[in-house]
């Protein structure tokens, strides 16, 4: 369908003019930015150096990340939550799914922190029920949720997301304990399990979405997780925002002008 025909059909369905539709997209983009941290204002938690940013392919995107002050907002002392998620698809549909995920996330955290004092064990089962009813067939969300304590303990659960990488002195640990993606099953075949890791001084935690490792060069080759591991392991002594900058520059060098086709999100946390 030609661009003009798509615009006419969109205007017919919504009952709005094209300028009104554009204004609505801009408003939606602003709303999406407001549910995620401002990269210009670094999150502060204990002796951790923290940075995150999402780079959408369009006005709105299907990637999401957040840092949640569990101490100040939910009374769980000395803890911060980190979350990264990726909705299937792109653009407006994915953005709407992410908005529902954000609402379900905070509702579930509030419930679990009040009644169980543990936000990890039943968090994803509660979110999954909401996402199942919000999703269309073949829609789902991958997500990783971790609860970081001041002493370096990290309890987490992974819902089908690319495993975050914990760069330690003796090697790299993949944080893959968890279960199925969210929203695909009304009743997932297995429960989401909770894993535990520990961040020591100078350890680096890297979380990312598939838009990073599935970026292609002109030959159709993927950037890949092994290149990402090697790159970050070589610059792990740098600050978190510098590590992010190194990743972005290396992606541009690898892609050699091939445009970005998927949203890209990265979280870097370093224990100082």
- Cα(205)–Cα(167) distance, integer angstroms: 6
108 is written with which tokens? Answer: 């579930």
Tell me the CATH number for domain 23-202: 3.60.40.10
β-strands 153-159, 178-179: how paired?
parallel
Place of tokens 């799914």: 97
Residue (of 207, 216, 227) closest to 260 by Cα position: 216
Looking at residue 12, its pLDDT comes to: 61
When pLDDT is averaged across residues 121-143 and rounded to a whole number, the result is: 90
What value does the mean pLDDT of the chain take? 88
115 is written with which tokens? Answer: 């009644």
Looking at residue 61, its pLDDT comes to: 78
**DSSP secondary structure string for all residues of 101-146:** HHHHHHHHHHHHHHHTS-SSTTHHHHHHHHHHHHPPTT--EEEEEE
Looking at residue 13, its pLDDT comes to: 54
- Angle at which helices 3-14 and 18-34 cross, to 10°: 80
When pLDDT is averaged across residues 52-70 and rounded to a whole number, the result is: 87
Provide the residue ranges of all domains of the chain, joining segments of one domain with +.
Answer: 23-202
pLDDT over 90 at 29, yes or no: no
Q: Yes or no: say if 45 and 67 are a contact pair by the CB < 8 Å rule.
A: yes
pLDDT over 80 at 114, yes or no: no
Pairwise pLDDT comparison (247 vs 92), residue with the higher score: 247
When pLDDT is averaged across residues 66-76 and rounded to a whole number, the result is: 91
| Confidence bin at 157 (pLDDT 50/70/90) | very high
When pLDDT is averaged across residues 173-186 and rounded to a whole number, the result is: 95
Looking at residue 165, its pLDDT comes to: 98
Q: What angle do CA 62, 67, 73 make, to 5 degrees?
A: 125
Sheet holding 48-55, edge to edge: 48-55, 264-271, 204-208, 165-168, 171-174
Looking at residue 1, its pLDDT comes to: 45
| Confidence bin at 235 (pLDDT 50/70/90) | very high
When pLDDT is averaged across residues 192-200 and rounded to a whole number, the result is: 97
- For residue 193, how far is the Cα from the chain centroid? 19
| pLDDT tens digits along 32-52 | 566 688 887 878 999 999 999
Looking at residue 162, its pLDDT comes to: 97
pLDDT over 90 at 90, yes or no: no
Tell me the percentage of the chain whose pLDDT exceeds 90.
62
Pairwise pLDDT comparison (31 vs 227), residue with the higher score: 227
Looking at residue 23, its pLDDT comes to: 56
Looking at residue 272, its pLDDT comes to: 93
When pLDDT is averaged across residues 218-234 and rounded to a whole number, the result is: 96
When pLDDT is averaged across residues 120-135 and rounded to a whole number, the result is: 90
When pLDDT is averaged across residues 190-197 and rounded to a whole number, the result is: 94
């Amino acid at each position: 369908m030609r661009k003009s025909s798509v615009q006419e059909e969109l205007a017919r369905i919504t009952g709005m003019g094209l300028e009104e539709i554009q204004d609505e997209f801009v408003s939606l983009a602003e709303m999406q930015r407001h549910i995620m941290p401002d990269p210009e204002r670094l999150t502060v938690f204990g002796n951790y150096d923290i940075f995150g940013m999402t780079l959408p392919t369009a006005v709105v995107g299907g990637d999401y990340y957040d840092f949640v002050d569990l101490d100040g907002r939910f009374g769980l002392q000395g803890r911060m939550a980190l979350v990264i998620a990726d909705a299937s698809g792109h653009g407006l549909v994915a953005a709407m799914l992410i908005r529902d995920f954000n609402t379900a996330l905070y509702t579930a955290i509030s419930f679990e922190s009040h009644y169980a004092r543990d936000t990890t064990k039943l968090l994803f089962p509660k979110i999954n029920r909401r996402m199942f009813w919000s999703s269309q067939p073949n829609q789902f969300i991958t997500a990783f949720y971790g609860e970081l304590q001041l002493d370096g303990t990290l309890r987490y659960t992974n819902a089908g997301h690319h495993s975050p990488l914990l760069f330690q002195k003796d090697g790299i640990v993949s944080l893959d304990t968890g279960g199925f993606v969210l929203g695909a099953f009304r009743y997932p075949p297995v429960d989401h399990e909770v894993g535990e890791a520990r961040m020591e001084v100078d350890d680096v935690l890297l979380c990312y979405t598939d838009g990073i490792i599935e970026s292609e060069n002109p030959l159709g080759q993927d950037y890949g997780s092994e290149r990402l591991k090697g790159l970050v392991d070589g610059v792990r002594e740098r600050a978190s925002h510098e590590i992010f900058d190194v990743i972005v520059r290396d992606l541009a060098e690898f892609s050699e002008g091939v445009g970005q086709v998927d949203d890209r999100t990265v979280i870097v946390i370093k224990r100082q």
